[in-house]
Amino acid sequence: MYLLLVAIGILCLSGLVASAVGRSSRWATACGAGGVVVAALIGIVPSVAAVLGATPQSIRLAWSVPYGAFFVEVDALSGFFLVVIFTVCPIAAVWGSAYLLQHHGKKSLGPPWFFFNVLIASMALVVVARNGVLFLVAWEVMALASFFLVTFDDDDEGVRDAGWIYLVATHLGTAFLLVLFLLLGEHASSLDFDRFLASPERASVLFLLAVCGFGTKAGLLPFHVWLPEAHSAAPSHVSAVMSGVMIKIGIYGLIRMLTILGPPPAWWGWLLVAAGLSSGIYGVVFALAQHDLKRLLAYSSVENVGIIVLGLGVGVVGLDAGQPTVATLGFAGALLHILNHALFKGLLFLGVGAVAHSTGTRELDQLGGLLKRMPVTGAAFVVGAVAIAALPPLNGFVGEWLIYFAAFNGIAAPGRDTATAVLSAIGGLALIGGLVAAGFTKVFGIVFLGEPRSRSAERAAEPALVMRAAMLALAAGCVFVGCFAPVVVAALVPVVRVATGLPADAVAQHLGEASRLLRWFVAAAAALVATSVLILFLRRWLLSRRDVGAAPTWDCGYAAPTPRMQYTSSSFSQPLTELFTFLLQTRHRGSALKGLLPDPTALATAAPDLLADGMYRPLFDLLGRGLRSVRWVQHGRVHVYVLYIAITLLVLLVWKLG
């Protein structure tokens, strides 16, 4: 516990020092990144201990803020999220230390390191806070720190707009949370989490508030619109932390609320399943249609949050139906997918960042052939892509398999409703899985295979050594969780116990069963790898005594092929995006080809966010028009502003005393 507070202290202190020495890029980077690494090394010790089932430790200190207390506790659930934070963040920091130095001399690196370290500290504080005021304060610090990180390249207008959208979205989310905690606190007349009582008549309202508030941070449909904007505007290591870790803090809030709100009614589970499914499908379909690598990854984050919430939904349905197997496995799958997504999405963002850093573009159609020029980045990226597509033997498969396993267990449950929910979960998850595989085949194929589509892609080279090391570390994490899946799943018992509130031996029994089945999967994966290696050696042996010719890729039978004849990102995904025209409403610009010898023509496609354009823009326009009529209140005459204050004070006094 104290180690954790020391870690948070180191993070804040190193951030302050980094901002103080910001004039020297190297010192700021050393302080900032060094602080994160040291803090993570210290903080991971109590976190792992808590995950493995150490007795929860807490500290409660008085605080002069009304209803506030510095009340922190590390239980298994907090510990699990701390492990995610302290695994991905230091790696992103190391990667960022090389990445940010490209701004050396142009921009002070003090502020980005300060806010980066404060962001990590606040995330750690959010997951251990056990008092409403402390929680909300840490939550707001987290939102503001990430806002300043998103707007790092603030000389770009698009980045400023993205920051603005993010700021509005995150504060709207916090507004829901404020009401949530006020209602909880009113009922319990205290804002300490351990005093909160489950009140059946209000629980549903509280649950909806939690879904809206925490869902906004997590990027759940329909609150996801800030995500593609903010993630594509932020520097890549920040995107990795935001997408890999920060949005999971929203999920943490949701799980924590579920533990507080008492036994859930069935419709909570259906709501979560429905929200998860729609997020997942919406996210992956829009990811398919994107041309900008980081926007694509951001939509993929929406999809993964959908999968996580789907797992939670299946778990809640299981809890309600009295099916501990389904509940345990659903929650375990969601939790494991949180860790997995942090690893592979972090890796993918860092990989895309390396590509953008090296080529200067994130446009899919400007890239190509990078595997030969950036072999290490490419290798790490392919690991991430396979993992996110949930293909064995990597970690992505394990998490989704647990959710499938939970859902299949639920089919046999009595009651038609449970079966409907879990069957739709199975179908949706299968659809999402297929589309993700297609999407990341597209990304990897367009970016790393084929021939370079532009001069900048031709000149690409491997990034700095530390950047490569950071990506390989995350890739190793993906492989590790995949290969040691039985151990990892078995280690989740205390976490799932806290999240579901089920007795420990039941949780251990169900997870042990899953763990035993996973052993077969690891054995099969090992066999697969062994066979592949064997085939590789066989191929080398067969070819060793023959002439091996080299021919251009993407030849397509033409005598003089050019890189422009390759598939573009839109043409690759066109068969799939055609199926989802009702959702995507892709805009095509350009003319069709006419005649036998057509004139040169151009085609551009764009898939703007359906909800952002169709729902939020009209809504905010309407709000803006409505509020324009009261704009005269703000006229700039300071003494009339004072008049407002004076009148308010007087009215309050007269009202209260009269």
Partner 1 sequence: MWVDTTLVFLALSSLLLLGSSRLSRCVRIVAFQGVLLGVLTMAVAQHDPSLRTIFFALAIVALKGVGFPWLLSRVLRESEVHREVDPLVGYIVSMLLGTLTLALSFWLSARLPLPAPPLSSLVVPVAFFTTLAGLFLIVTRRAALTQVLAYLVLENGIYVFGVGLVHGTPMVVELGILLDVFVAVFVMGIAIFHINREFDHIDTEQLTILRDWTP
Residues lying near partner 1 in the complex (CB under 8 A) are found at 631, 634-640, 642-643, 645-646, 649-650, 653-654, 657-658
DSSP H or E stretch at residue 59: strand 57-62
Closest approach of partner 1 to the CB of residue 649, in Å: 8
Closest approach of partner 1 to the CB of residue 646, in Å: 4
Closest approach of partner 1 to the CB of residue 172, in Å: 20
| Pairing of the two strands 603-606 and 587-590 | antiparallel
Q: Residue 412 or 646: which CB sits closer to partner 1?
A: 646
Amino acid at 471: M
Closest approach of partner 1 to the CB of residue 639, in Å: 5
CA distances from 357 to 100, 239, 467 (A): 10, 14, 11
Closest approach of partner 1 to the CB of residue 636, in Å: 3
| Pairing of the two strands 69-74 and 587-590 | unpaired
In 3D space, the residue among 237, 233, 240, 242 whose CA is nearest the CA of residue 155 turns out to be 233
Q: Compute CA 149 distance to the chain's CA centroid, rounded to the nearest angstrom.
A: 16
Q: Residue 70 or 164: which CB sits closer to partner 1?
A: 164
Amino acid at 399: G
Q: Residue 544 or 634: which CB sits closer to partner 1?
A: 634
Tokens 């180191």, residue located: 10
Closest approach of partner 1 to the CB of residue 653, in Å: 6
Closest approach of partner 1 to the CB of residue 178, in Å: 24
In 3D space, the residue among 482, 524, 516, 513 whose CA is nearest the CA of residue 340 turns out to be 482
Q: Residue 375 or 624: which CB sits closer to partner 1?
A: 624
- Residue 636 neighbours by CB under 8 Å, 6+ apart: none
| Other C-beta atoms lying within 10 Å of the C-beta of residue 527 | 11
- Check residue 221 and report its DSSP letter: T
Closest approach of partner 1 to the CB of residue 80, in Å: 43
In 3D space, the residue among 503, 5, 499, 7 whose CA is nearest the CA of residue 253 turns out to be 499
Closest approach of partner 1 to the CB of residue 627, in Å: 11
Decide: helix, strand or coil at residue 70.
strand
The values of phi and psi at residue 588, to 5°, are: -100, 135
Q: Residue 602 or 627: which CB sits closer to partner 1?
A: 627
Q: Residue 581 or 634: which CB sits closer to partner 1?
A: 634
In 3D space, the residue among 64, 46, 93, 89 whose CA is nearest the CA of residue 466 turns out to be 93
Closest approach of partner 1 to the CB of residue 654, in Å: 7
Closest approach of partner 1 to the CB of residue 633, in Å: 10
Q: Residue 560 or 638: which CB sits closer to partner 1?
A: 638
Q: Residue 537 or 644: which CB sits closer to partner 1?
A: 644
The whole-angstrom separation of Cα 440 and Cα 384 is 9
Give the dihedral sign, CA 255/260/263/269.
negative
Q: Residue 2 or 655: which CB sits closer to partner 1?
A: 655
The whole-angstrom separation of Cα 204 and Cα 57 is 30
Q: Residue 416 or 635: which CB sits closer to partner 1?
A: 635
- Residue 85 neighbours by CB under 8 Å, 6+ apart: 43, 120, 123, 124, 127, 245
- The answer to whether the CB of 77 falls within 8 A of the CB of 498 is yes
The whole-angstrom separation of Cα 472 and Cα 507 is 34
The values of phi and psi at residue 635, to 5°, are: -110, -10
Q: Residue 552 or 636: which CB sits closer to partner 1?
A: 636
The values of phi and psi at residue 419, to 5°, are: -60, -40
Q: Residue 564 or 628: which CB sits closer to partner 1?
A: 628
Closest approach of partner 1 to the CB of residue 630, in Å: 11
